Amino acid sequence: MSRRGAQFTLLAVAFVAHAACDGSPTEPPQMPVPALISLSAVEGVTGTTVSQTLTGTGFVPGATIAVSGTGVTVADVTVSSSTSITAKFAIASDATLGDRQVAVTTPAGTSGSKSFAVNPPAPVLTSLSAMTGVRGTTVNQTLTGMHFVAGATAVAVSGSDISVSDVSVSSATSLTVNFVIGSDAAEGDCSVTATTAGGTSGAQTFTVTASEEPPPRRCR
C-alpha cells in the first residue's frame, strides 16, 4: 500500500471512531410531517372546479391531497415550495352538500385537516303561483325555479307586516309557502326571493292590495 493510501485509510478509521465515540448521527434527519395552515378557497359550488392554494409547512414534491367524502376530485397538484401547493378541486354536480375535510400527505405522514364546504348553486326563482294578495289574508303560494334545497331554503318578502310560513321544498324546482299579509301591510309591489347556502335568487314581484276586486254588476 502506498504512503498516501495508508494515510487515507487511517483518516477514515479515525473519522468513524470519532463519530461512534461522540454520538454523532450516522443517518440524515427525518423529514417533518406536513402541516396544513389554510386553503385559499374554503367553499365551492356543485358542478364547478375550484382553483386552490394550500399553505402550510413540510410540503415536498410528490405530496398528495385528500378530500373526504365523494364527489370532489383533486387534480393538477403542484408543490410550489415547502410552504405552498396549488391544486384544483372538481366538484361533481351531484356531490353531497356540506363540509369536507382536506389533508396533505407526504412520505413523512399526514397533516391535520381544514374544512372545505360544498354548496349548491344559487337558487333561481322564475315564477309565483299568486301574483297578488289582500291585506288581512294568507296566500298559499307555489314558487317555481331551480336549485331549491330541502330543509335549507328560505323565502323572503320585502315590505312590512308580511310574514312567511310553512316553507316546504317539494323538489329542486318547486316549493310551497304561505304569505301572511297583515291588515296594516302597505299596498303596492313587494320583492320575493329565495335563499340557500349557495346564495340568493333574483326577485319576483308580489303585489299587496287593499281589498278584493268587487264582482261585476249584473244588468237587470
CA dist 66 and 207 (Å) reads: 51
Digit-coded pLDDT (tens) for 7-43:
434 333 444 444 444 555 556 668 899 999 999 999 9
CA dist 50 and 42 (Å) reads: 10
- Full-model pTM: 0.69
In single-letter form, the type of residue at position 4 comes to R
Residue 4 pLDDT: 42
Residue among 167, 51, 153, 35 nearest 97 (CA): 153
Query: Is the dihedral angle over the CA atoms 158, 125, 133, 150 positive or is it negative?
Result: negative
Digit-coded pLDDT (tens) for 56-105:
999 999 999 999 999 999 999 999 999 999 999 999 999 999 999 999 99
Q: Does domain 124-209 have CATH number 3.40.50.10160?
A: no
User: Where would I find the beta strands (DSSP E) of 120-218?
Assistant: 124-128, 132-134, 138-146, 154-157, 162-171, 174-181, 188-196, 199-200, 204-209
CA dist 185 and 209 (Å) reads: 9
Provide CATH 2.60.40.10 ranges for the chain: 35-119, 124-209
Digit-coded pLDDT (tens) for 149-199:
999 999 999 988 999 999 999 999 999 999 999 999 999 999 999 999 889
Beta sheet of 35-39, edge-to-edge order = 35-39, 49-57, 84-91, 72-81
Q: Does domain 35-119 have CATH number 2.60.40.10?
A: yes
CA dist 135 and 20 (Å) reads: 94
Residue 209 pLDDT: 94
